[in-house]
Chains A and B, each alone.
Chain A
């Protein structure tokens, strides 16, 4: 027998073992590793999905309040210009603050740059005492409908005779106040009704 037979047997054994490791074991280990990674990823995904589900379940539980909040905001920024309601609100504020509701000139609604709402810059003039005017401004700021006074001017009521010393307790308040609607096509010449894109009416 060849003296190198043990060496040959060893080499053959090592080669077969190496082939077995390379062709069978290593691919299988790779498969196991890949599948474990997929499992880990799926487990992570489950955690994220569970958190998302919990958040949605919370949202479901809070849905009545959410709808109320949306309703309240839609009352502040209605889906149409709704001038009749605006007239009534302003007249109500004037009556409650004991000022004379002198004039109201709503401007043409102008959509904002993003096209999400229109602002109606309006001129309102009332006359009354200083604190009555102050009360009117407060009521304007707390109307159910969103209103933002951007300019105001308080002057003595009635025409001045040219003198500098006017002594009157009756004042005139002129304000530019912005009202808002989610209707981006409001006012004369516009498409009637609320805008479909923004007036969700939920």
Chain B
């Protein structure tokens, strides 16, 4: 059985408009409700995070308090570090002259002896440079020098002496300043020579290495 709508078309259209308006309004309300729910969750989340933040702040304050109570040990460590730095500064470029003398006794040829031995460490003060045994301004990597005076039988002995000096670790630029025969055909020579010391000649603490 078919239905017949006897309402006038204007009324039908009005009803349809009302229905559509209601639907749109309902949809709008739904969206607003969703926004409200989302807002509620955000409020909840903010509350949780703030609560976490307060707890975290409390933990941090406790840690800071503990750290403050142990500050004296940090000061102690800082004092040790500053004193170690002081020692490092003091011993910079230190040469073990006792080892140097032993090395001299090892390398000096039998047919010679020394009448004088000097050594010096280049001052570490800025702008105060020592002059090397050869009279030239030393290279920055050089930390000092040694000079020798002695007597040798034959020039070969002096040559051997120079060669052996260069074999010692940290001893470089071995040089003879003079070699003079004492008397004609005596083959006895009075000589003076020198060498430079590099960082390798410095002690461990002089090189900044912890002993």
Nearest B residue to A150 via CB reads B121
Complex Cα gap A153–B101 (Å):
11
Q: CB of A156 within 8 A of chain B?
A: yes
Residues of chain A in range 130-177 having any CB-CB distance to chain B below 8 Å: 130-131, 133-135, 137-138, 140-141, 146, 148-156, 164-167, 175
Inter-chain contact B80/A70, CB cutoff 8 Å: yes
User: Measuring CB to CB, which residues of chain A are less than 8 angstroms from any residue of chain B?
Assistant: 1-3, 5-6, 9-10, 12-14, 16-17, 20-21, 24-25, 28-29, 31-32, 35-36, 38-39, 42-43, 45-46, 49-50, 52-53, 56-57, 59-60, 63, 66-67, 69-70, 73-74, 76-77, 112-113, 116-117, 119, 130-131, 133-135, 137-138, 140-141, 146, 148-156, 164-167, 175, 178, 180, 182, 200, 202
Residues of chain B in range 50-76 having any CB-CB distance to chain A below 8 Å: 50, 52-53, 56-57, 59-60, 63-64, 66-67, 70-71, 73-74, 76
Given A28-B46, A76-B87, also A43-B73 (CB < 8 A): no
A69 to chain B, nearest CB (A): 6
Of the candidates A50, A131, A135, A182, which one forms a contact with B86 in the assembled complex, judged by CB atoms under 8 Å apart?
A182
Residues of chain B in range 1-21 having any CB-CB distance to chain A below 8 Å: 13-14, 17-18, 20-21
Instruction: List chain A residues, Cβ under 8 A from B188.
Output: 165
Question: Which range contains the number of B residues in contact with the other chain?
Answer: 35 or more
Of the candidates A36, A76, A141, which one forms a contact with B49 in the assembled complex, judged by CB atoms under 8 Å apart?
A36
A82 to chain B, nearest CB (A): 16
Instruction: List chain B residues, Cβ under 8 A from A156.
Output: 115
In the A-B complex, the 9 residue pairs with the smallest Cβ-Cβ separation, listed nearest first, are: A13-B28, A138-B98, A137-B98, A56-B70, A59-B73, A49-B63, A42-B56, A154-B117, A6-B20
Instruction: List chain B residues, Cβ under 8 A from A153.
Output: 116-119
Q: Which of B30-38, B132-140, B170-178 contacts A (4 or more CB under 8 A)?
A: B30-38
Main secondary structure of the interface of B (DSSP, over half): helix
Of the candidates A16, A53, A56, A200, which one forms a contact with B28 in the assembled complex, judged by CB atoms under 8 Å apart?
A16
Nearest A residue to B49 via CB reads A35
Instruction: List chain A residues, Cβ under 8 A from B45.
Output: 32
Q: Can you give 7 A-B contacts (C-beta < 8 A)?
A: A17-B28, A28-B42, A66-B80, A74-B83, A134-B101, A141-B98, A151-B118
Complex Cα gap A57–B95 (Å):
39
